[in-house]
Amino acid sequence: MKKIFSKPAALSGETRHYCPGCTHGIIHRIIAEAIDELGILGRTIGIAPVGCAVFAYNYFECDMQEAAHGRAPAVATGIKRVLPESVVFTYQGDGDLAAIGTAETVHAAARGENITVIFVNNCIYGMTGGQMAPTSLIGQVTQTTPYGRTRENQGFPIGICEMIATLEGASFVKRCAADSVTHVKDAKQSIKTAFQRQIDNAGFSIVEVLSTCPTNWGMTPEKALEWLRDSMIPRFPLGSFKE
């Protein structure tokens, strides 16, 4: 019988801990497919964040390091400087990357560090039970914004791609989404391009993937996908910010 579908070699067989309907699993899979298709598994080193994806080191089959909260781009820098022939990627959520790790992210990009950052933005802190994230939308209700995020109190969400694209060291900056087949295919192609940029020593690459958190948004998986499309994409427009 002809085999038409299989688990990517870059993905481990470990059962993932993500909640039902969460799109982390999809994003893991497209990263793994990109690694497989580029044939770089043996020289790829991944860095797991603190947050929902903290166990990512169990889910990929490449060498992995687990970083302190927000520090993944600094850890990636250390690895890449020692092993310039390796392909180094970080996998970070919005709290990790855009709050506690903003400095590490911005400066890795400014240096043109030859690493790839996969930025999973779901507008909320998932692992700790649904607190306001730096990317939470105005009006968004979370555990720490029970009356909704307001511009007066918490201020505005941060557009990471918009900010990183202003830096000379950034080579590839793109925002994608994990809500539909079309968008997922685009996200996978973008991740492949980002890895290729790194292989070509072109500088810092980042792919932001808008993702859902049905559990902490308090929605069904289907409603969560709708909310991503109707509320997140207008504030975080998809597309390329730097190619």
- 96 belongs to the binding site for other proteins (CB under 8 A): no
Q: Give the residue with the Cβ less far from other proteins, 24 or 71.
A: 71
> Residue 169 interacts with other proteins (CB under 8 A)?
no
Nearer to other proteins, 50 or 137 (CB): 50
Per CB under 8 A, 47 contacts other proteins: yes
Residue 118 CB-half CA count within 13 A:
30
Of 22, 27, 31, 74, the one binding other proteins (CB under 8 A) is: 74
Any contact of residue 75 with other proteins (CB under 8 A)? yes
Q: Does the protein bind other proteins through residue 67 (CB under 8 A)?
A: yes
Please give the Cα distance from 105 to 100 (Å, whole number).
10
Part in contact with other proteins (CB under 8 A); list of ranges 30-38, 77-85, 169-177, 186-194: 77-85
Site membership for other proteins, residue 57 (CB under 8 A): yes
Between CA 73 and CA 84 the distance in angstroms is 15
99 binds other proteins (CB under 8 A): no
Q: Is 41 in the site for other proteins (CB under 8 A)?
A: yes
Q: Please pick, from the candidates 19, 36, 38, 68, the single residue that binds other proteins as defined by CB under 8 A.
A: 68
Does position 98 bind other proteins by CB under 8 A? Answer: no
Print the binding letters for residues 106-145 with other proteins: x by CB under 8 A, - otherwise: xx--------------------------------------
Return the residue of 14, 81, 185, 222 that touches other proteins, per CB under 8 A: 81
The residues of the shown chain that bind other proteins, judged by CB under 8 A, are 41-45, 47-48, 54-55, 57-58, 60-68, 71, 74-83, 86, 103-104, 106-107
